[in-house]
Structures are given as C-alpha cells and as structure tokens.
Amino acid sequence: MRTQVAIIGAGPAGLMLSHLLAREGVESVVVECRSRAYVEARIRAGLLEASTVDLLDEVGLGRRLHAEGFAHRGIYLHWPGERHHIDFVDLVGKMVYIYGQTELTRDFGRARDEDGQLLFYEATGTRLEGIESDSPSVVFTDPAGRETRIEADLIAGCDGSFGPSRESIPSSACQTWEKHYPYSWLGVLANVAPSTDELIYSWSPEGFALHSMRSESVSRLYLQVGPQAKVEEWSDDQIWEVLARRLGDGEGGWHLEAGPITEKSVLPMRSFVMAPMRHHRLFLAGDAAHIVPPTGAKGLNLAIADVALLSEALVAFTKGDTLLADEYSERALRRVWRCTHFSWWMTTMLHTSGDPFEAELQRSQLGWVTSSVAGAAGLAENYAGLPIGY
Ligand code: FAS
Ligand code: PHB
C-alpha cells in the first residue's frame, strides 16, 4: 500500500494531523496499536487553551466542545488561609476550556470516519524502515495476522512517549533532556458535581491538590503522592479526606463535596524533550517528542500545536517546497521549551518536598503571583496559551 504520509499513533496528535492534511488534499494512513475503544476511553487531559480551541473551530471540530465543554475565565490559586482568582480574560484577554481528551478523541475519530480516513487499529509489531531514504515505510501486523507495509513519502511519529518512532532515531543524531520529579499524581474521576466553578490549584504543607471537572455531574481531582505510590494504597475515604484538607474544606465557608470514585490512576511526573523533532523523512509530534508534568495543562495543547506546524510543513513538502519542513523542528521546539519551562514553574511552585526553605519560597511565589499584576499576567499568558506559531 502507498500513501503520502504514514502516521503512527491515533491519539490527539495523529488524528488531528490526518484531519489537517486531508483538508489540504494530502492523503495519510494512520496506524494504531490499541483498539479504537481503548484509545477513546483513555482518561487523560481536560484543559484546552485558547489557541487550541481557535484551531479546532477553524477546522470544524469545535461544535461539541462549545455545546458540552466549559469556558473558564481563569483559575484559583489556594494555600492555607488564602484563595485568589487569576482572571485570564482581564489579564490577557483569553478564556480556557474544560473538555475531556476522551471527548476530543471521539470527535476526531468521527471526523476521520466522515472523511473515509484509512485507520488501522490493533496493529502490532509496528516498525519504521528506510527513514533516511526517499521512500520510507511503516510495517506492522494487522489483527488478522497479516504483515502490512505502508510505503510513504513521509512518516509522522505521533506514537506517544513509548512508541517506536522516537526509538528509530539514532542516538548520535539527537539530544534528549529528562527530569524526574520526586512525586506523582493520583488522579480520580468522581460522580459528584464540582465544588467549584473554575479549577483550584492548591499548595499545602503536606502536598499539592487540584480540583478540576468534566461535566456538571463529574469531577476530576488530583493529589500529590509519593513517586512510587500505588493506586491500591489509597482508599476512596482517604482520597477524599486528603483532598478536603489540601483544598481548604471549611475555609471561608467553602466545602468539598465527596462522591463515588469511578476511576483512579497514578501518573509519574517528568519532563522530557528530544531534539531535533525530525530525522530525514521522519517527523515527531506530541508526546513522541516531549513530555511535560500536567500541572501546566500543556501536554495535549502542545501536541495540537506541533501538528498545526507539522501539517503546514508536510503539505508544502508534498508540493516540492521543503523550507517549512526544514524549519519545523526549530519552530516547534521554541514553543516546546516555553511550555516545558512553564510546566516546571507551575509544578515546583505547587508541589511540596518537605524542605522548609522551599516551602517559604513557594509561599512567597504564590503571594507575588496573586498580588502583582505582572506576576499574574505572566502565569495567565503561559497558561491561557501562546499563539500556535509562538
Ligand atoms: P498519545 O500518547 O495520546 O497518543 C499516542 C498514540 O500512539 C496512542 O494511542 C498509542 O496507543 C499509540 N502508539 C504507541 N505505540 C504504538 C505503536 N508501537 N504502534 C502504533 N501506535 C502506537 N496532559 C494534560 O494536559 N493533562 C492531564 O491531566 C494529562 N494526564 C495524562 C495522564 C496519562 C496517564 C498520560 C500518559 C498522559 C497525560 N497527559 C495529560 C498528557 C496527554 O494528554 C498527552 O499530552 C496527549 O495524549 C498527547 O497526545 P499524543 O502526542 O497524541 O500522544
Ligand atoms: C484535567 O482536568 O484533567 C486537568 C486540568 C488541568 C491540569 C491537569 C489536568 O493542569
């Protein structure tokens, strides 16, 4: 089989890329190792920044988001005895949106179905061949056990942090940076109405907590746990007790409503960047090239920003103009490092290490960000999102 662009991975990056390419008449084939049901059910991100939503609107993918998602003016920063609203609209004129990644992935999948997109799910043994030649291939075994080769002009590695694309680039041809944080997040979904209108990011002497949401009847909450924490170690009652304490239950009359927990998972916190995001005919996008701790709500938004740049580059490449393709990695990495820094900044401001000196720095930083327009605007500009081509 032959196509113009072979895309590995049917997460947000891979599906959005195939949508953007199709709009410009460029054909692609998507290869995914999991089932469609698995991909669409994965509970992950929930916050979309303004430029992501603008792009979704532009390409006809924003309808359900505006019908079922939430538009937020900002976030709350909380620490014992203090709660302050950071208003992104007042500060930088932008809203942010709550809309689960599962919903977005479903919307992408429907749009690809309507386009008649060729998508191989449950592919195993995916490997890349000839990426340094002019006719690279993606080879995999389909669910019926047939070995399938897709010959392509270009390959887009959208296969996340454990896929084969990143591994296909020789270590001599790339550089990587990695930081492991000394904590993880325990994330829960609960069938209970959110106890807040907008997200609460909370610092407490015992650890970080975040109150997010998915709908008027489903809350999404996270709490800082040890780096080796296991879900089994945490009972529902313990989770609610710790969340209530860390989020300031009872302070100023505010109350955290508990409810049945329907999903629990532990997410280790790390930063990772790989450069360049291209090796000859292979281009990387999304988690395949970078990982950020979710404190800055950047992971999903960065994936979308990558493929917005990549789609333009690949469309031009197929027409014989390689300039944007040559510039892709440098342009994408500028935004990647900005978001990597912001995610580190939010993470180190809000997660406790037990070090009393660090705790004083964090309280001072929180006090400055919530009392200085310059400080608040800096957070707002990064959180609500920089332009796609930043
Ligand atoms: P994805 O990982 O979403 O997609 C890659 C796809 O490639 C997957 O479907 C995978 O099955 C497929 N693949 C992998 N290997 C393959 C192979 N060999 N062959 C074919 N296909 C292959 N971000 C936030 O902003 N907030 C959050 O709260 C948040 N929570 C997260 C929780 C978890 C457990 C994880 C892992 C990530 C979380 N993220 C969060 C980040 C997440 O949202 C990513 O940034 C986002 O999914 C990136 O999208 P993609 O780059 O498409 O990668
Ligand atoms: C979420 O709703 O899943 C979410 C929101 C903001 C974050 C991380 C996760 O920073």
383 is catalytic: yes
Closest ligand (CA of 300): 1
- pLDDT number for residue 195: 98
99 is catalytic: no
- pLDDT number for residue 157: 98
Query: What spacing in Å lies between the alpha carbon of 45 and ligand 2's midpoint?
Result: 6
Query: What spacing in Å lies between the alpha carbon of 256 and ligand 2's midpoint?
Result: 18
Q: One of 72, 94, 211, 279 is an active-site residue; which one?
A: 72
- pLDDT number for residue 158: 98
Percent of the chain predicted with pLDDT > 90: 98
Query: What spacing in Å lies between the alpha carbon of 9 and ligand 1's midpoint?
Result: 9
Q: Treating both helix axes as pointing N-terminal to C-terminal, what angle do 323-350 and 299-318 enclose, rounded to 10 degrees?
A: 180
Closest ligand (CA of 221): 2
Pocket test for ligand 1, best of 165, 186, 210, 287 (most atoms within 8 A of CB): 287
298 is catalytic: yes
Give alpha helix (H) positions in the chain. 12-23, 36-41, 50-58, 63-68, 88-92, 101-114, 164-167, 236-247, 299-318, 323-350, 356-369, 373-384
Closest ligand (CA of 383): 2
Q: Which atom of ligand 1 is nearest to the CA of 300?
A: 45
**Beta pairing class for 28-31 and 118-120:** parallel
Ligand 2: residues within 6 Å at CB?
A: 45-47, 199, 212, 220, 294-295, 297
Task: Give every residue of the chain whose pLDDT is below 50, as ranges.
Answer: none
72 is catalytic: yes
Query: What spacing in Å lies between the alpha carbon of 275 and ligand 1's midpoint?
Result: 19
pLDDT in tens, 196-222: 999 999 999 999 999 999 999 999 999
Query: What spacing in Å lies between the alpha carbon of 318 and ligand 2's midpoint?
Result: 37
Complete domains list, the chain, with CATH: 2-46+100-174+276-352 (3.50.50.60), 179-268 (3.30.9.10)
Q: Which amino acid residue places its CA nearest to atom 4 of ligand 2?
A: 46
Query: What spacing in Å lies between the alpha carbon of 295 and ligand 2's midpoint?
Result: 7
Task: Print burial letters for 52-65: b (CB count within 10 Å at least 16), e (below 16).
Answer: bbebbeeeebbeeb
| Residue type (1 letter), 184 | S
Q: Which atom of ligand 1 is nearest to the CA of 296?
A: 25
- Residue 170 CA, chain-centre distance (Å), reads 26
Q: Residue 238 class from Cβ within 10 Å (0-12 exposed, 13-18 middle, 19+ buried)?
A: exposed
The closest of 133, 120, 155 to 285, measured between CA atoms, is 155
CA-based torsion, 348, 350, 356, 357: positive or negative: positive
Q: Which residues contact 156 (CB under 8 A, 6 or more apart)?
A: 5, 6, 7, 8, 14, 17, 28, 283, 284, 285, 307, 310, 314
194 is catalytic: no
Average pLDDT of the chain? 97
- pLDDT number for residue 349: 98
* Angle at CA of residue 333, ends 330 and 337, nearest 5°: 145
Six-digit token pair at 31?
A: 């290869």
Q: What pTM was estimated for this model as a whole? A: 0.97
Closest ligand (CA of 162): 1
Q: One of 181, 183, 201, 328 is an active-site residue; which one?
A: 201
pLDDT in tens, 133-177: 999 999 999 999 999 999 999 999 999 999 999 999 999 999 999
CA distance 184 to 128: 33
Cis? peptide before 276, omega within 30° of 0: yes
Cβ atoms of 91 and 63 closer than 8 Å:
no
- pLDDT number for residue 387: 84
